[in-house]
Amino acid sequence: MMTTPFFDIPPRLSAISDRVTETVAPVFAAIDEVMEYNQQKVLAAFIDHRVSESHFVPTTGYGYGDRGRDTLDEVFAQVMGAEDALVRHSIVSGTHAITIALFGVLRPGDVMLAATGTPYDTLQGVIGVGKHSDGSLADYGVGYREVPLQNGAPDLDGIRKALKAEPRIKLVHIQRSRGYDLRPSLSVAAIGEIVNAVREVRPDAVIFVDNCYGEFVEKTEPTAVGVDLMAGSLIKNPGGGVAENGGYICGRRDLVESCSYRMTTPGLGREVGASLGHNRSLYMGLFHAPHVVGEALKTAVFAAGLFEALGYDVTPRPTEPRADIIQAVRLRTPEALIAFCQGMQQGAPVDAFVVPEPWDMPGYDDPVIMAAGAFTAGASIELSADAPLREPFAAYMQGGLNFHSGKLGVLLAARSMMKKGVI
C-alpha cells in the first residue's frame, strides 16, 4: 500500500495508484532494459573519447581551441549515431536549434516539405506561416509545402506525390513528437518508413527530424534509419536535468558544417564560441540522460494508468509503445485542465506555492497554461505540464527527474481536480 506521510492523498487515489503500479510493472521492466542499453552506449562514448577533467576547463573570448567543446561534439555524435554534432549552451531552445538547421540548409528558391502535418506552434513563425514571422524562411524566399497526417499517421503516398509535384523541395521536415496534438508520436521505425518513401522519389533530399522529447526513448535514434540531420534541446531529454540551457544539431558532416556557419558566421562556424564553464554540466547531463529519460517514461506510464482509471482518454495508453516522453490526458474542459496544471505545480520542488494561470505566451496563438516548478526554468525533462486553452483541452505532461517524485506530482494533479469538483 502506497504511503504518503507528507501529503494528504485521498484513499481512493492511493488505492488506484497501487493497482496501476502493479499493472504497469512489465512496462517498467521494458523501460529499464532500454535505459541500461542507452547508459552503456553513453558510457562507451565517454571512454572512447578519453573524457577527462581537463575538458571541463572554461574558455572565454572567441573560444578558439576549446577542447572540451570540441570533444563533447564528438561524444554526442557517437551517442546519436551521427557523423558530426554541434552541442552548444548558446543555442537557447529546441526551436532555435531547428531554426539554425533549417537556415543552414535551405537557400532562396528552395522549398521545405513538412511531411508530418503542420509543425509545432513556435516553428510556424520560423517558416512564415504563423503570426510572428518577421525574418522567417518565407521572407528569404524559401517556399513551404505540407502533407497533412491521415488519421494521425504520416501519409506516405501523399509525401511521394508532393515530392513528384515540386522538384524544388530540398528538405523534408519530420516532427517526431506530438506537439500540442493528440496524434501519436513517431517511433524510429515509423520515421524509417517516411525516409524510404522520400528516397524512392528524391534520394537527394535532405531529411530532417525535430527530435525533441524523443532522445533515449528507444535504443536507436532517427539517424539509424537514414535521417540526414536532426536537432533538439538540452533542457529536454539529452541534458539529463543537469544542463542549464543549450541545444544540439547532429547528422551528416557536410550538413552540420553548413549549420555551423549559420550558428555563428560564415567562415568561422564551429571554431568560435567560448564554453564559459558550461562544459561540465553538458557532459554530466548527457551522462545522466538515459536514466532520467527512463524515469520520465515511468512517470508518463503511471499518469496514463491513473487517469485512464479515473475515466479519461489518454494517449499513449499505459501499455502502448512510446516514442517520446510526452503523455497527453484529454481533460475535456478548461476548468479541469487548469486544475490539473495547478495540482501538478503543487508537487514541484521549486515554486510549489505558485498558482499557474493561462497567459499569452510568446509564439502561441492561444492562451497557454504551464505547470513548471523546475530547477532549470522551462526544463521539460523535469516534471511539467502545459497546454493551450483550446479543444480538446488536453494536458501535455512530460518529464520527471525521478519516478517517485513524478508519481506524487501526478497524484497531486488528480487531487486538485477532485478538490475543485471536476472529476
pLDDT tens digits along 242-265: 999 999 999 999 999 999 999 999
* Cα–Cα distance list, 36 to 80, 213, 229, 293, 316 (Å): 16, 19, 26, 11, 23
Taking residues 95-121, report their average pLDDT: 96
- Hey, what domains does the chain have and what are their CATH numbers? 11-39+287-419 (3.90.1150.60), 54-284 (3.40.640.10)
- Cα 394 → chain centroid: 18
Q: What are phi and psi of 166, to 5 degrees?
A: -130, 95
CB 100 within 8 A of CB 260: no
Q: Check whether 130 has a pLDDT greater than 90.
A: no
Q: Check whether 423 has a pLDDT greater than 90.
A: no
Point out which residues pair with 394 in neighbouring strands: 330
Task: Look at residue 206 and give its three-state secondary structure.
Answer: strand
CB 144 within 8 A of CB 114: yes
Question: Which grid cell is 95?
Answer: 526551436
Residue 57 gets the label, from left (phi > 0), alpha (psi -120 to 50) or beta, of beta
Question: Which grid cell is 306?
Answer: 491513473
Q: What are phi and psi of 48, to 5 degrees?
A: -60, -35
Rounded CA gap, 381 and 239, in Å?
Answer: 8
The pLDDT of residue 131 is: 66
Taking residues 266-270, report their average pLDDT: 96
Alpha helices by DSSP H, listed for 272-373, are 279-309, 334-345
Q: Check whether 120 has a pLDDT greater than 90.
A: no
CB 401 within 8 A of CB 334: no
Rounded CA gap, 5 and 346, in Å?
Answer: 16
Question: Which grid cell is 2?
Answer: 502506497
Rounded CA gap, 223 and 116, in Å?
Answer: 17
Rounded CA gap, 248 and 282, in Å?
Answer: 11
Point out which residues pair with 206 in neighbouring strands: 171
- Cα 190 → chain centroid: 17
Task: Look at residue 144 and give its three-state secondary structure.
Answer: strand
Q: What is the pLDDT of residues 389-416, one digit of tens each?
A: 998 999 999 999 999 999 999 999 999 9
Cβ–Cβ contacts within 10 Å for residue 379, how many?
Answer: 23
Taking residues 192-211, report their average pLDDT: 98
